[in-house]
Amino acid sequence: MRLGLIGFGNIGTALLGLIAEGAPLDHLTVLVRPGAADAARSRLDGELKGAARSHALVSDAAGLLADRPDLVVECAGHSAAEAHAPAVLRAGIDVVLVSTGALADPALEAALKAAAAEGGARLILPAGAVGAIDLLSALGTGGGLEVRYRGIKPPAAWAGTPAAEILDLASVAEPAIFFTGNAREAATAYPKNANVAATLALAGAGFEATRVELMADPSAPGNVHEYSVVSPIANYTIRIENKPSSGNAKTSATTIYSVLREIRNRLGPVAI
């Protein structure tokens, strides 16, 4: 496979580390900011060398497309998704969008759907840090969904977000809910922390109808995602206790494995 990667932060490098443990990619193209190219090159030539037989670094979508990737993974945040994903989709190349919260912007969601339709490509939304998305999506086809989500993380994982203006994160001694609203509001206010809320909304009842609570809990075993679904077809509740990724407390380690699964589904004879 020829893989394109938009972004070379915690998710991108951890993903390549997992790929390096198995069969290498035929070619890897990484789109990075110009100022980050030297550091990225050093890592690709070093501990990540086994991820691909060859690699290239580019600074824009044109350079990425020139390398003819079979699949592109976006893992650089909402602004990068907006800047680069439309051109890739219009070129007929499928995009795995890790920053699902970017679709809380109705204009961007419409633009990405239009670009995918124009290019005959698919915008793929991985499950990320949450489970049972297949069931939620199936129930959504029947309508009448009620979805409630609670995101729980240790106080330190909310540093650098609006939560720090609501709570004194350093002194939180017991569980504290600091946000209550819908999934669109959550994904907009907490773009680096609420991708799960967006994924649930997109798979199920929609952004406005999906209710969200965000909580800082010093006793949380990691990044915890709880959600309940009530529908005319089935009801269920799920709680997932994710270990944070080693490079970023805001990111659940399962997110990286979810993206790896999307890649492997392209390579193997059976997709599940």
Per-residue model confidence (pLDDT) at position 254 = 92
Same domain, 159 and 121: no
Same domain, 105 and 183: no
Identify the segments of the chain with pLDDT beneath 70: none
Q: Is 227 exposed, middle or buried (0-12, 13-18, 19+ CB in 10 A)?
A: buried
Same domain, 19 and 101: yes
Rounded Cα distance, 218 and 114, in Å: 43
Same domain, 121 and 200: no
Is beta strand 94-97 parallel, antiparallel or unpaired with respect to 71-74? parallel
DSSP 221: S
Tell whether 269 is covered by a domain: no
Tell whether 271 is covered by a domain: no
Tell whether 270 is covered by a domain: no
Same domain, 32 and 13: yes
Same domain, 7 and 121: yes
Rounded Cα distance, 253 and 264, in Å: 17
Domain final residue pick, 125, 143, 162: 125
Per-residue model confidence (pLDDT) at position 249 = 72
We report the CATH number of the domain holding residue 118 as 3.40.50.720
Query: What are the structure tokens assigned to 136, written together?
Result: 């939620």
Cβ of 262: how many Cβ atoms within 10 Å? 18
Per-residue model confidence (pLDDT) at position 272 = 84
Check if the beta carbon of residue 213 is closer than 8 Å to that of residue 180: yes
Check if the beta carbon of residue 136 is closer than 8 Å to that of residue 200: yes
Domain final residue pick, 106, 125, 144: 125
| pTM recorded for the entire structure | 0.93
Catalytic residue among 27, 55, 78, 225: 225
**What is the domain range of residue 208?**
133-251
Tell whether 83 is covered by a domain: yes
Same domain, 117 and 86: yes
Same domain, 90 and 144: no
Tell whether 261 is covered by a domain: no
Tell whether 262 is covered by a domain: no
Per-residue model confidence (pLDDT) at position 34 = 84
Same domain, 137 and 121: no
In the residue annotation, 27 being an active-site residue is answered as no
- Tell which residue, 229, 205, 206, 203, has the closest CA to residue 125: 203
Number of domains in the chain: 2
Cβ of 143: how many Cβ atoms within 10 Å? 10
Tell whether 272 is covered by a domain: no
Segment (H or E) for 225: strand 223-230
Same domain, 6 and 121: yes
Tell whether 148 is covered by a domain: yes
Same domain, 145 and 46: no
Same domain, 82 and 187: no
We report the CATH number of the domain holding residue 245 as 3.30.360.10
